[in-house]
Amino acid sequence: MIESDRHPFLEGLSKHRGAPPTIIVIFGASGDLTTRKLVPAIYNLSYDNLLPANFTLIGFGRNPISDEEFANIANDSVKNYSRRDLNTNVWEKIHSNIQYHSGGYDDFNAFKTLAEKIDKIQSKNGQDSQILFYLSTPPSVFEPILRNLGESGLSSRNLHTRLASKVIIEKPFGRDLKSAQDLNNIMGSKFEESQVFRIDHYLGKETVQDLLVQRFANNIFEPIWNRQYVESVQITVAEELGVGSRGGYYDKSGALRDMIQNHTMQLLSLIAMEPPVSLHPESIRDEKVKVLRAIQPLNLDGDHSDVVRAHYSEGLIGGKKVDGYLQEKNIPNDSITETFAALRLSINNWRWKGVPFYMRSGKRMARRVSEIAVQFKKPPGILFTEGNRFDVASNTMVVRIQPDEGITMLLNSKIPGLETRTQPVKMHFGYATTFGSNTPEAYERLILDAMIGDSTLFIRGDETEASWKIITPILDYWSDCGRQGLESYVSGSWGPLASDRLLWDKSHEWRRSGP
């Protein structure tokens, strides 16, 4: 590793350096995620000397290509998508340990031959390895893969030892509550829960992990983190990108399944949960799931509906004209899939009763920004209230997940001058300024955690079901309504006007500005 590349992230990873020998098998070898994220993540882990000495990557896919052809594709994906340039020495270290296995995901024979390939690698290495299966395919093939892993005996290799097989499964975990339960059942019949790593890459983002630290390592927040002081909480996950080449997948999914059920619900759990009794994975996940269970059923129709859905029409992104959703590749021109969803949620517990939690996520929005804004109640209007001197804003803590990662506090300050006039000002902490840039990507951290068996940043089975319990009635209702109630928003805007209406009951507004 090059010294100038050192990042504070690397200093705290002593336990991660002890990952056992590992063979990672990525199903969906030619996929978008494998190409853009997983292979570059493995390269960067190798760059930082975080891979175990005996490490092999096996790409599993349907195309009949050779090991060398797959290694060349992997090399291109590092060149095109890695956060660091390709370093020949680092590449040579992993190059010789890249293999490819061709076969169908529902072909039992392909799994038998995979097991033989794994045996050969182990006998060549002279030691056993843990096998880490990464399901990076469309969810439609999760089930046959899991069945074949079970039936071929691959799922139970070295069970109850440090080298037990593990499985990372991509989101979305199911399409609704019933399918998530079914998937959990199949999972449970082939793997023990300790072997299962349901991934949500938002949990691998440094800023998301920092939520717990900010809340529980600073004593100033806990006393005011409740309904007495908090006016509302807003969670925004906005993207400038449209559906791009993923139309086939996206049109069957939509914003609610693709983003809200997982990423934004995870952000909500972390911002609203009670302090865990320890940092043990189960303690943290116990508290997260309690928050989800306390969320009240939503109003779905009428003027007081708690949900809004819309898809984008043509507009301007970065000054360039972009197509509307219905003109995108692989999108039927009568599609009613939402690319934007906004929700108003109530958490019925002692801490949060009466505090609205607003969340929204959309594609082709004005700016790429993921943030959580905790808006505090205003002080009583006794002082600073006369004439034009009054501009007392609500104190707001904005946690910027990405980009420009950091935390901003909005405070009120005196404008210099003879009169006492106030103005909102910002106090800012930026990750890049404090810790340097080039922070490792979420997938690096998560693959590493799965290798050492730390499930803290992964979703537990009951957690995903608790989230689907909130989301499924909305999906059912929308399905009954068909096109009715589906709004439209101009690409490059902040979403449909209807989403503003969600906040009017309490005279709140969505945040539109920058950090």
List 1, 30, 123, 350, residue binding ligand NDP (CB under 6 A): 30
Nearest-angstrom CA–CA distance, 470 and 30: 34
Q: Does 144 bind ligand NDP (CB under 6 A)?
A: no
Picking from 188, 106, 88, the residue whose alpha carbon sits closest to that of residue 148 is: 106
Sheet holding 196-198, edge to edge: 98-102, 55-61, 22-27, 130-135, 166-169, 196-198
Nearest-angstrom CA–CA distance, 51 and 56: 10
Binding residues for ligand BG6, how many (CB under 6 A)? 4
Q: Does 240 bind ligand BG6 (CB under 6 A)?
A: no
List 13, 16, 17, 33, residue binding ligand NDP (CB under 6 A): 33
Q: Is 25 helix (H, G, I), strand (E, B) or coil?
A: strand
Q: Does 441 bind ligand BG6 (CB under 6 A)?
A: no
Q: Which one of ligand NDP, ligand BG6, none is in contact with 105 (Cβ closer than 5 to 8 A by kind)? A: ligand NDP
Residues constituting the chain: 515
Nearest-angstrom CA–CA distance, 369 and 403: 6
Q: Does 423 bind ligand NDP (CB under 6 A)?
A: no
The enclosing H or E element of 60 equals: strand 55-61
Q: Does 65 bind ligand NDP (CB under 6 A)?
A: no
Binding residues for ligand NDP, how many (CB under 6 A)? 22
In angstroms, give the least distance from the CB of 339 to ligand BG6. 10
Nearest-angstrom CA–CA distance, 324 and 492: 11
Backbone φ, ψ for residue 408 (5° rounding) = -125, 135
Which stretches within 198-339 are classed as H helix? 206-216, 247-251, 254-255, 265-272, 281-294
Picking from 98, 88, 122, the residue whose alpha carbon sits closest to that of residue 42 is: 98
Q: Which one of ligand BG6, ligand NDP, none is in contact with 239 (Cβ closer than 5 to 8 A by kind)? A: ligand BG6
263 is an active site residue: yes
Pairing of strands 98-102, 130-135: unpaired
CB of 210 or CB of 258, closer to ligand BG6: 258
CB of 62 or CB of 293, closer to ligand NDP: 62
- 7, 16, 101, 263: which is the annotated catalytic residue? 263
Q: Which one of ligand NDP, ligand BG6, none is in contact with 391 (Cβ closer than 5 to 8 A by kind)? A: none
Nearest-angstrom CA–CA distance, 375 and 410: 9
Q: Which one of ligand NDP, ligand BG6, none is in contact with 452 (Cβ closer than 5 to 8 A by kind)? A: none
Pairing of strands 307-313, 486-490: parallel
CB of 135 or CB of 294, closer to ligand NDP: 135
CB of 155 or CB of 236, closer to ligand BG6: 236
Cβ count within 10 A of residue 104: 14
Q: Does 29 bind ligand NDP (CB under 6 A)?
A: yes
In this chain, which stretch among 6-14, 23-31, 75-83, 422-430 interacts with ligand NDP, using CB under 6 A?
23-31
Q: Does 40 bind ligand NDP (CB under 6 A)?
A: no
In this chain, which stretch among 12-20, 133-141, 284-292, 366-374 interacts with ligand NDP, using CB under 6 A?
133-141
List 67, 192, 239, 487, residue binding ligand BG6 (CB under 6 A): 239
Q: Which one of ligand BG6, ligand NDP, none is in contact with 444 (Cβ closer than 5 to 8 A by kind)? A: none
Q: Does 63 bind ligand NDP (CB under 6 A)?
A: yes
199 to 228: interface string for ligand NDP, x by CB under 6 A: --x---------------------------
Q: Does 137 bind ligand NDP (CB under 6 A)?
A: yes
Q: Is 429 helix (H, G, I), strand (E, B) or coil?
A: strand
CA distances from 225 to 14, 112, 218, 351 (A): 33, 54, 12, 8
Cβ count within 10 A of residue 170: 21
CA distances from 10 to 3, 141, 174, 203, 391 (A): 12, 36, 34, 18, 45
Q: Does 258 bind ligand BG6 (CB under 6 A)?
A: yes
In angstroms, give the least distance from the CB of 74 to ligand NDP. 13
> Which of the residues 244 through 273 are near ligand NDP (CB under 6 A)?
246, 249
CB of 60 or CB of 358, closer to ligand NDP: 60
List 22, 46, 100, 170, residue binding ligand NDP (CB under 6 A): 170
CA angle 83, 87, 88 (to 5 degrees): 150
Q: Which one of ligand NDP, ligand BG6, none is in contact with 33 (Cβ closer than 5 to 8 A by kind)? A: ligand NDP
Q: Does 20 bind ligand NDP (CB under 6 A)?
A: no
Nearest-angstrom CA–CA distance, 372 and 361: 12
CB of 118 or CB of 442, closer to ligand BG6: 442
CB burial class (10 A; 0-12, 13-18, 19+) of residue 455? buried
List 139, 356, 406, 496, residue binding ligand NDP (CB under 6 A): 139
Nearest-angstrom CA–CA distance, 229 and 248: 45
In angstroms, give the least distance from the CB of 421 to ligand NDP. 48
* Active site (catalytic) residues: 263
The residues of the shown chain that bind ligand NDP, judged by CB under 6 A, are 28-33, 61-63, 105, 136-141, 170-172, 201, 246, 249
The residues of the shown chain that bind ligand BG6, judged by CB under 6 A, are 171, 239, 258, 370
